[in-house]
Amino acid sequence: MSGTDTTDTTTGQRRSGGALAQRLLASAIFLPCLIVIARSGWWYYFALIELVIVIGLVEYFRIAAAKGMRPYLLPGMTAGVLLPAALYVRGGTWAPALITAMLIAAMAAALTRNDREHALTRMAVTVFGVLYVSWLGSHLILIRELPRAVGLGYAAGFPLVIAVFTMTWCCDTGAYVAGRLFGRHKLLPAISPGKTVEGAVGGVVFSIAGILVAGLIVDIPFSLTTAVALAVVASVTGQVGDLAESLIKRDAGIKDSSRAIPGHGGILDRFDSLLFTAPVLYYLMRYLVLRGH
């Protein structure tokens, strides 16, 4: 019996170590690409975020299918692809028209199908997916374009992007590390059994530390006090986003949204926190932090 336990433990450690190596390799490839592309901005950065959104939307529809729901893929994917472009071009003035068109198209699709059973659910799942993945994700584009809206130089968008990614992903890392080392009290075991209160606190601490270090490397256009406050907001909001995606996956009975990123799972698994932090930080920075520039 003890021999079996030892073998199982060793196998688990090897799998854990292999997953960690994959995570580090994927991060080592993606992070330099993100830095270079975010610094360049313009269509390069837009194309990167558009790709992330499209893959994330495909993953979302896959999750919905695993739940037994059948969203209207054509209007959903069309709106999901066009919405980031509508926000990028002409300052987002086309976005309300596109969202309106998506709502009408989803309802029209229900009328043209022979299988009208559960039409309300299919329409709701379609619209929610576009708003959840594409609308929230598009704020990563708006953050890069924010300096033009508040009177700063376009180059100032790069440190804003770095700040948002740093605060969010440092929180993810801190929550994981602190949870593994010190986790004793479950946070929301019915939704995500592995998350702990200690991990959540560690996420806040790492988020603050991350933005302080980032501020020494890039010229973030706000004060130290503001950076710490935004890190606290980002860490709390990001963990809510993480739990929200966990709830969606648990309801559908799947572990990962896909295997698109080795060691991380899918795009939604890696960007679930950013889907929440990006909009919240964008509006805070635009209307409170950077107001008057």
Domain ranges of the chain: 25-289
Q: Does the pLDDT at position 169 exceed 70?
A: yes
Give Cβ neighbours of residue 117 (< 8 Å, ≥ 6 apart).
Answer: none
Per residue in 42-63, pLDDT tens? 899 999 999 999 999 999 999 9
- Torsion sign, CA atoms 197, 201, 204, 206: negative
Q: What values do phi and psi take at 245, rounded to 5?
A: -70, -35
Residue 91: its pLDDT value, please? 65
Per residue in 72-114, pLDDT tens? 888 899 989 999 988 888 666 777 888 888 888 888 887 877 7
Helix (H, G, I), strand (E, B) or coil at 188: strand
- Torsion sign, CA atoms 261, 264, 269, 273: negative
Residue 31: its pLDDT value, please? 82
Q: Label the pairing between strands 192-196 and 186-188.
A: antiparallel
Residue 260: its pLDDT value, please? 75
How many Å apart are CA 20 and CA 134, to the nearest integer? 29
* Tokens describing residue 145: 């374009």
Confidence of residue 30 (pLDDT cuts 50, 70, 90): confident
How many Å apart are CA 277 and CA 163, to the nearest integer? 11
158 alpha-carbon distance from chain centroid: 18
* Tokens describing residue 244: 């929200």
Contact indicator for 122, 69 with CB cutoff of 8 Å = yes
Tokens 């698994």, located at residue: 269
Residue 261 DSSP code? B
Residue 13: its pLDDT value, please? 45
Q: Which helix (H) or strand (E) holds 192?
A: strand 192-196
Q: Which helix (H) or strand (E) holds 193?
A: strand 192-196
Residue 263: its pLDDT value, please? 61
Average pLDDT over residues 149-154: 86
- Write out the DSSP string of 24-56: HHHHHHHHHHHHHHHHH-HHHHHHHHHHHHHHH
* Tokens describing residue 180: 């593994």
Per residue in 176-202, pLDDT tens? 889 889 989 999 988 888 899 999 999
Q: Does the pLDDT at position 2 exceed 50?
A: no
Residue 164: its pLDDT value, please? 96
Mean pLDDT computed over every residue of the chain: 85
Residue of 284, 275, 234, 277 whose CA lies nearest to 136: 275
* Tokens describing residue 198: 């200690």
81-85, 162-166, 261-265: range with lowest mean pLDDT: 261-265
Tokens 């919240």, located at residue: 280
Residue 8: its pLDDT value, please? 41
Percent of the chain's residues with pLDDT above 90: 48
Of residues 95 and 223, more confidence is placed in 223
Contact indicator for 169, 162 with CB cutoff of 8 Å = no
CB-neighbour burial class of residue 263 (10 A; exposed 0-12, middle 13-18, buried 19+): middle
* Tokens describing residue 32: 């330099």
How many Å apart are CA 231 and CA 211, to the nearest integer? 7
